[in-house]
A and B are shown apart, each in its own frame.
Chain A
Amino acid sequence: MFSDPSAQKSKRKLMRSRAKSKAQNETPRIVVGSIAIAVVLLLWWLLTSITGIVAPLYFPSPESAIDAFVALNWQLGIDAIATFRRVLLSWALGSSIGVLVGLAMSRSALLRYALAPLIEAVRPVPPIALIPFIILWFGIGDSGKVFLGSLACFMVMVINTLVAVTNVPPVYRRAGRSLGASASRINWRIVLPAILPEILAGFRIGSALAWTVIVATEFLGAEAGIGRLIMQASRTLNTPVVLVGTVAVALMAIVLDQIIVHVSARLTRWAPKEAY
């Protein structure tokens, strides 16, 4: 029954494709990417240190950036940790509340009718525009910054979750019901896994947004944080420190993003198309 010689063949093909898909296409990507980065670094060095076409005030040379990095010493670490902590906290808080509220709204029409207009009204406002209010309400301490960062992530995830639930093909729910699954089993074993890829993609967008919002709030005042470091240095036209701070934010953002990407890839190995 269902006997087919092709089964053995496709079994072998399956094993091979599993082993190959990882190694394939990786090498040229890494090589070309590394070359591009090397070229940009070389250009930077040529334009600033060697030829002096770009004045140090407009863009610092690699040497002066390294000097600034060494001179900052512990300070950079303290500021970086302060910023990373705020981003992580607001991202985790805002995203999880966003997903929960999104799921609740997808279940209850009453909640949807009540919250949707409020969310739609607040959503288009750039979070940064709320900074004056946040300072009035919370002062320049941590709580205001984390609140604003969370709000940004919340807005992304609430809409993302609602859309993801709507996008679940109805046939999955119907299949579940005709196989005798209870409503809660359908939610846990069908709806949640089905929306997972979209949720994880939302987490990525949210984390990028959290960096923007947190660094911006730090510009306007903080005891510690990369945003404060950059703003202080820019007031004294200390561009090497500005650059070091910017690179620090970029590196931290890449690390967080890559963690999310890797966890996502692991969680959604089943997904038909490559999401990332």
Chain B
Amino acid sequence: MHQIEINAATKSFTSRGRDIAALSETNLDISRNETVCLVGPSGCGKTTLLNLIAGFVFPTEGSISVGGSPITGPGSDRAVVFQEDAVFPWMTVQENIAFGPRSQHLPNAIVEERVQRFLELVNLHDFRTAHPKELSGGMRKRVDIARAYASEPDVLLLDEPFGALDHFTKEEMWMALRELKNIEPKTILFVTHDIEEALYMGDRVVVMTARPARVHTIVEVPFGGERSLDLRASTTFQDLRLSITRSLMEVNSVQ
């Protein structure tokens, strides 16, 4: 059994009396502790797929199950890191990280332990009593990731989490998230429009078609768990980037 099973999922929205298909008969299985990156033309419905798995919206047709059971709504087994700044500005860093465990009514000792552990892992221990407004964009993203990890979900859904960061901060975040993945393995669905990001983060890269989105091609990424920034000099990396770029061009020209 796969951790996430998407069977012929279709999602259409009604806007001004017209049906708009965002996602069309999509099939995708994601194994436990696998990282799958979704790339595709902007506005193609990648986020719709993520929202379906998160349980914010429900499929018009088809089914999606996580851990063998169908999705009935959002839940702490699936944490989301959003593209927007979603860290609660009225809470300190440690209160943000504690929010998930406290929502699950865990005993204080466990909440404390998780807050400490993830503060260390994202290297924000010195800032635990700071409010988000006192942090840089990259640091706020780290709080967001720590908060998602601290509720110990089975699945992590990342919706272009580093889209608003500058390139160097972004590279720093890739490396950091990779290390975090090695220490605390999770099933991850990572929506991005950055091919390099997809190749650094993903075990597989799924190229989606233009709206309505469906799976176009799936690329296996053969780099294993240790990926350094030097990787992009390798010919395999270049070849993969080129082939994904080609798929994206193909997908875009159909539009």
CA distance A177 to B82 in the complex (A): 13
Contact B89 A185 (CB under 8 A): no
| Known contacts A2-B122, A7-B123, A171-B82; is-contact A270 B133 (Cβ 8 Å) | yes
Q: What B residues does A171 contact at CB under 8 A?
A: 82, 84, 86
CB distance A178 to B74 under 8 Å?
yes
- Give per-residue flags for A175-188: 1 if the beta carbon is below 8 A from chain B beta carbons, else 0: 11111111001000
Complex partner residue of A180 from B103, B123, B180, CB under 8 angstroms? B103
* Interfacial chain A residues near B157, Cβ < 8 Å: 178
A107 contacts the other chain (CB 8 A) = no
| Nearest CB of chain B from residue A188's CB, rounded to whole Å | 11
Count of inter-chain pairs, beta carbons less than 8 A: 101
- List the A residue with the shortest CB-CB distance to B178: A1
CB <8 Å contact, A196 and B76: no
Cβ distance A267 to chain B, nearest Cβ, rounded Å: 9
Q: How far is the CA of A182 from the CA of B99 in the complex (A)?
A: 12
Nearest to A11 among chain B residues (CB) is B126
CB distance from B164 to the nearest CB of A (A): 13
The answer to whether B99 touches A179, judged by C-beta atoms less than 8 angstroms apart, is yes
Partner of B126, one of A7, A174, A180: A7
Contact between chains at A2 and B99 (CB < 8 Å):
no
Bound state CA distance, A177 and B75, in angstroms?
A: 6
Question: A150-169 interface mask toward B, CB cutoff 8 Å, 1 = contact, 0 = none?
Answer: 00000000000000000001
Q: Is B78 an interface residue (CB 8 A)?
A: yes
Within 176-190 of B, Cβ neighbours of A (below 8 Å) are at 176, 179-180
Chain B residues, CB < 8 A from A8: 126
Partner of B104, one of A172, A177, A180: A180
Least Cβ–Cβ distance between B69 and chain A, in angstroms: 16
Residue of A2, A172, A194 touching B123 (CB-CB under 8 A): A2
Known contacts: A1-B123, A193-B88. The answer to whether A179 contacts B133 by CB under 8 A is no
Instruction: Answer whether residue A189 sits at the interface, using C-beta atoms and an 8 A cutoff.
Output: yes
With a 10 A CB-CB cut-off, give which of A11, A179, A196 has the most chain B CB atoms: A179
Shortest C-beta distance, B123 to chain A (Å), equals 4
Q: Are A4 and B90 in contact (CB under 8 A)?
A: no
A201→B131 CA distance, assembly (Å): 21
Q: Chain B: interface residue count, which band?
A: 35 or more
Contact A270 B103 (CB under 8 A): no
Q: Are B84 and A169 in contact, CB atoms less than 8 angstroms apart?
A: yes
Q: Which of B126, B131, B172 contacts A270 (CB 8 A)?
A: B131
- Among B139-156, those with CB < 8 Å from A are 139, 142, 147-148, 151
Instruction: Judge whether B134 is part of the interface by a CB distance below 8 angstroms.
Output: yes
| A194 partner residues in chain B, CB cutoff 8 A | 90
The answer to whether B99 and A181 have CB atoms under 8 Å apart is yes
Q: How far is the CB of B183 from chain A (nearest CB, A)?
A: 8
Contact of B151 among A169, A179, A185 (CB under 8 A): A179
Let me know if A272 is at the binding interface, CB within 8 A.
yes
A3 at the A/B interface (Cβ < 8 Å)?
Answer: yes
Evaluate whether A178 and B78 lie within 8 angstroms (CB atoms) in the complex, with A4-B172, A7-B126 already known: yes
Which residue of chain B is the closest to A14 with respect to CB atoms?
A: B134
Instruction: Report B-chain residues with C-beta under 8 Å of the C-beta of A7.
Output: 123, 126-127, 139
CB pair B76 A10 closer than 8 Å: no
Q: Shortest CB–CB separation between residue B128 and chain A, in angstroms?
A: 11
Cβ contacts A61-95/B at 8 Å (1 or 0 each): 00000000000000000000000000000000000
Asked whether A175 lies within 8 Å of B80 as measured between CB atoms, the reply is yes
Whole-angstrom distance between the Cβ of A184 and the nearest chain B Cβ: 11
Q: Are A3 and B99 in contact (CB under 8 A)?
A: no
Q: Return A271 CB to nearest CB of chain B, in Å.
A: 7
B121 at the binding interface (Cβ < 8 Å): yes
Measured between beta carbons, the chain A residues less than 8 angstroms from B172 are 2, 4
Cβ-based interface call for B56 (8 A):
yes
Q: Tell me the bound Cα distance from A113 to B153 in angstroms.
A: 39
Task: Select from chain A the residue with minimum beta-carbon distance to B180.
Answer: A1
A262: CB under 8 A from chain B?
Answer: no
Chain B positions within 8 Å of A256 at CB level:
none
A174 vs B75: C-alpha distance when bound (angstroms): 10
* B54 CB within 8 Å of chain A: yes
| Interface pair B99/A14, CB less than 8 Å apart | no
B136 in the interface (beta carbon within 8 A): yes
Chain A 4-40 interface 0/1 with B at a Cβ cutoff of 8 Å (1 = within):
1001101100100110000000000000000000000
Give the CA-CA distance A17 to B54 in the complex, in Å: 39
Given A2-B142, A14-B130, A193-B88, answer yes or no on A179-B79 (Cβ-Cβ < 8 Å): yes
Q: List 9 A-B contacts (CB under 8 A).
A: A2-B142, A7-B139, A18-B134, A172-B86, A178-B54, A178-B157, A179-B100, A180-B103, A193-B88
- Given contacts A10-B136, A271-B90, 18 further A-B pairs with CB under 8 A are A1-B179, A2-B122, A7-B139, A8-B126, A10-B135, A17-B134, A18-B134, A174-B56, A176-B103, A177-B56, A180-B76, A180-B103, A185-B103, A193-B90, A270-B89, A270-B133, A271-B133, A272-B133
By Cβ-Cβ distance, the 3 closest A-B pairs, closest first, are A180-B76, A2-B123, A177-B74
